[in-house]
Structure 1
Amino acid sequence: MAQTRNRWTNYLKPLRHKNRSVFLTWMLSYVSVLLVPILISGVIYGATLNVVKAEMNRANQSILQQMEQAIDSQFKGIESLSLEVSLNRRIAAFMKADAALSDSDHYEIYQIANDLRVYEMANDFLEGIYVYYINSDTVISSNNRMDSEGLYDHIRLEEHMPLRSFREYLDQWYIKGYRSVVVSEQNEWRPTVMYAQNVTSSIMNQRGAVLLFMIDRDKLLAQASVPEEGTIHILNEDNRFIASTDESLAEPAVQYGDMPEQSGQLEIDAGGRRLVASYATSSITGWKYVMTLPADVYHRKMNVVEQLTIASILLCLLVGGGVTYWLLKRNYLPIHALIQSLSFKAGVTFDRGSNEYSFLEQALSSTFHEKEELHNKLNQHNNTLRSYFLQRLLKGQLDSHIPLRESFSAYDLRFPQDGFSVILLRIEHFGKFHRTDEDQVPNKRLLQFLIANVALEVARKSAHAYAVELDRELLGCIVNHRLASPAEQRAELARIAEETMSFISDYAHVQLTAAISAQQVGEYGIFQAFQEAVEAMEYRIVAGSGGMIHYGDLSGGEGKGAAPGGYFYPLQAEQQLIIMVREGQLDKAKAFVGEIIQKNVTSEPFSLHTAKCLMFDLMATLQKAIGEIRIVGKPDVPDGVRAIERLVQCQTVGEMRGQLYDMVELLCGYVNDNRLYSSNPLIDKVMKYVNDYYQDENLNISTIGEAFSMAPSYISKLFKEFAGESLLDYINKTRLEKAKLLLSGEKYTVGEISLMVGYHDVNTFHRIFKKFEGITPGRYREVK
């Protein structure tokens, strides 16, 4: 007994080994795959049967519909003809005749018969036309005249129908429709089809007539395309044959009530035979057009499909089995060689009683473990490396020989969409994170970490985003989004920035300024988007801090254009500002400065470079004004150098404007405080003399010196000290002020005005006017 058990154990041991082998597993898998085409063949077989069946039914229905259309067309022609007959003047007039026919009535019968003969010739679908006049009991045909009893001997609705019933049918007030009737032919009754329609008399309560159209029954199915071994027949509601291609049938194989639909198909048993019947219904008569085929003929094509399917399955099994064995053997050899190689090189013994994949898993597990340890060490530095990579990506400092996609994969960066934008967030003040008694670096890093996580969480609702620290007060956020219209994308980026700024402001009391770039396409557009965001952030000097700046809102729609009229600060404006300050007109000077700033900076579109240049030009103008209002013996004149230093430290245009206003207020205050000290009676007389004789072309420093008995150089120096400008400049400015008043009108030419204000040479007038006003006299007149 023990020997038997050991023998079975030795026999089953290799079998258990094979059950765990990859070879057997693959074989089962390949066999399972082999079953897939077999199952698909079965599905295709079922679908093909349905297609073949539907196609055959469609073909049968097409035949029936063609026959129906042909017959119904003839029926419509007969109905049209009946209308034409009923409108015939002779046929309608004969309804007035009574039973006692006169000679004229007999002549009318002859004329009506001729007309009926013409109508019969017009439609070859007719066997004859009969007109039954109820009032005179007269029946007229194309070749005969009879009464109702004679018509009864020739036509009946049924073979054994009594005369009284036949007359009752003809005496109805309303008759219209097709009937299956029998006609007498060589002492036999032959079935045919009749269309009957009554004609109403035009005289009240007078009986009219009945039109009877006898249809050639043999021509009903003359155009039908009868399939091989098939039969076509027409049934009425009483299950009687109207027509049939098989005259031997005594009764229909399918009943009218078995076909409730307008068209369809059904299988029936008839006389021990299985038939397939397709039918359609006439829209005019309601008759059923039926086509029958033996079931074996109908299923002949389906049997062919079934045989082909079985053959394809057997072929799949035969060929697939051979290919499966060849592939198993071919694919197993590399696995076997790999196991031997690993067993030899790795020093791991392969247990032949185990699965090959289990051995490979054990052999590679140690390698993966070592790789995982190395990967964990790299992950510890991954955030720093990725942050450094994102900084270089924004600034366009990547290695050109390494594709961006490979770099993204290396740093675990995913950009699934094609649209890219950059949002820069600048910390204006640190709120709760501000500390004066300890190092700011940890607080700034903690705040930047908070801002970065809030921005990423907000952006994750609609896009992928990555945040990176650019410096201690600036963060960059790369937003990867789907391509959309500029308006839609602007709204989405504004939402991200607004929600981030609002959250940080509410919970940390930290004020942020956001600069948002336009939409760029592709990874290589990230650098362009960063440059746009940087340029938008620079515009913070114009727009102020604590808000959102869109790159698209910058001048020209791209942030690079100038103001619509160009840079506006002509020499005339500078001279006007100096005069206002020199005269101590504080309100006018501040309003004038605001107007200049309005024209260059605050109007849309605006220019960052215009704002910077304008502020320093205005400060330079005030520096010139300091030189002109400096009073001898008054050393406490305002210091313009320190004012410029304070201007440089300003962060926004608003702060710069405030510094300019303070400087203007200081200078005007200085002028007004020292106005009495700076006055001189001699200088006042010189000014009055210039205003009186400015029209004299010989007026100059020498003539003024002679008028006041003083040396020209002395009076010029004295005028400069007290008036703040040279005597020659004062003469030219006085003349130019008078010239500008004259140029505002159209009465005098430029040459005439030149002579009127003391310039003998018009070229000299042009040169001096452009020097002080910045434009020519003609251009000044056009502007005004």
Structure 2
Amino acid sequence: MAQTRNRWTIDLKQLRHNNRSVFLTWMLSYVSVLLVPILISGVIYGATLNVVKAEINRANQSILLQMEQAIDSQFKGIESLSLEVSLNRRIAAFMKADERLSDSDHYEIYEIANDLRVYEIANDFLEGIYVYYINSDAVIASNDRMNSEGLYDHIRLEEHMPYQSFREYLNQWYIKGYRSVVVSEANEWKPTVMYARNVTSTIMNQQGAVLLFMIDRSKLLEQAPAPEEGTILVLDEDNRFIASTGEPLAELAVQYGDMPEESGQLEIESAGRRLVASYTTSSITGWKYVMTLPANVYHQKMNVVEQLIIVSILLCLIVGGAVTYWLLKRNYLPIHALIQSLSFKAGVTFDRGSNEYTFLEKALSSTFHEKEELHNKLNQHNNTLRSHFLQRLLKGQLDSHIPLHESFSAYDLRFSQDGFSVILLRIEHFGKFHRENEDQVHNKRLLQFLIANVVEEVARKSSHAYAVELDRELLACIINHSLASPAEQREKLRHIADETMSFIADHAHVQLTAAVSAQQEGEYGIFQAFQEAVEAMEYRIVVGSGGIIHYGDLKGGDGQATAAGGYFYPLKAEQQLIVMVREGQLDKAKAFVMEIIQKNVTTEPFSFHAAKCLLFDLMATLQKAISEIRIVGKPDVPDGVRAIERLMQCQTVGEMRGQLFELLELLCAYVNNNRDYSSNPLIDKVMKYVNDYYRDENLNISTIGEAFSMAPSYISKLFKELAGESLLDYINKTRLAQAKLLLTGEKYTVSEISVMVGYNDVNTFHRIFKKFEGITPGRYREVK
């Protein structure tokens, strides 16, 4: 009580310095009420102004909407025309032409130009149509033909745009939309509007074309009904004027970013004049259609309203001031008496000038907070003690001098039935609760709390259940139930585990493994049930994770655990497997391995250590097979050492079986791919010669024939027959293997690498690299 009074005294001192009496607060409140009629007058004034603004804005928006519909209608027509042009048979057929144009190609250009002329005549909103063919670098217009450089001299996205950037824009995979551009007219760059659309070729790996529609900028606002004293202008996303009527007075004030909404109104200042700008946004191009009017239009009819507002404010101040003082003095007396009474009973002095409400709130909140803290600490310690008791109960480490029923009562544990079972739940992966840059310890605790609540809720539908955390990945749930037949009780526990695992998997994407004990009788059977569940959980490494393992499945027919005295894998079976691998019989080898595993692992309980030894024996057999199938000069034989390392990292028999089958597939594929290959001393020497001189740009079949005193055609034919691939392909593959190693770093350019591996022409290097690897050297460096 003394500590409470001291804390209240400190709080009152802080209140005295930091707060003011409620009298002042009420006075401000009454003054605020007095300001209501003043605010109403202001609202009336504002509403009147808003009505005028709304009417003007409605008229402006109507004009802008008409203009938007007219222009957007023309834009839609251009888009429809672009689709029609892209479907033109002649235009689509010309995509296959390359840079070396034939006579028929020139005739096709003439026909395409005629078609474009017809399209231009049909739409007077256009100034011209250009078709740019990427494959042939040809640009066709209704009255002209050029290449991309010629088009660059005539049209640019920006006046100082580099030619390479212009080409990159035209070579984009997807182009479709309007944008502001500049065109060359009389040695000057004039702004205009362009609609671009690419046309994809129907032939695979053939580049398409780009359609460019130049719009007559002078006709954009041709039918715009501009007001007498206003201006209409069109603004794109880069704050460039597309078109305007008259002189754009707001040119230096209006910015695209100042108009974030689809439509609206704002006030601006330009050349010393206040203007009101109404705007709307085109749904097709995203451009802003803006109409500006002088601001004095808004204020012509507001003078009378302002005078009435001033008279209303004066009356409110005079009459309302007197009423406010009378009410304030009358209403403060009861609260003052209440504070004095509370201060006297609590033994705390209330200083005049302090805030009365804050004094009451602080005093009550402090009392309630102390009570809540005390309650939370008791609950927290109780939960911790109960968890510790349950852990000791499971491990059989309880104090013998304290009766169990007293401990159960002390920790609010209700075990009303005679049967006990234990379900162990192991977290295999944390699903949604495993996130980078987050507190993993907190996430794991949160997940364990969720699992514990779910399993308790599911089990308590028919039994008493209590869950407890054993470590970061393992939880145990003690289930108290009535004694039943083993089959009935097993099904009941299986249902609890299955429903818990399904719920956690569906809502948290977390995979669990459940181990279920048999039922035990009496409280002292909890330790035996826990040991059974632990033993069942250890068997997870044999059957795999993510399922339900019942202790009864680990028993033999006589109720005793089956001992694993060894495994079946005779020498004859090993020799049979090596023969199958040597002959490349993948399906037969897989079936044989599965039969060996089936006989040892899946027919009866089998220890993980014995299973691991069996899988390592099978892997050792494949290591022996590698030495027998290895072919000289073929470096792509599977790496058995890496396979053993991956096998040692496996945690379940299923994972080890997968690694074994992966190596088996690689070995059989190696045998089948090199079935016709036979080692030959001459071929080995030729391969060594290529590996030594692949950097020489003059290395070819002729130089190799001279080096071995053989005709080029004969040594090429002999290499093809014995090695299974042409000598030229082997030279290129040897060079490309070294080139790929160099491309993984940033030390050399592609041109330097091409010279380093024997290609004096970088274009030849590009062509051969794409032929064998499917991508260009530059793209290979990016993906690596």
Give the TM-score normalised by the residue count of structure 2. 0.36
Indicate the structure (1 or 2) with the bigger Cα radius of gyration.
Answer: 1
Give the TM-score normalised by the residue count of structure 1. 0.36
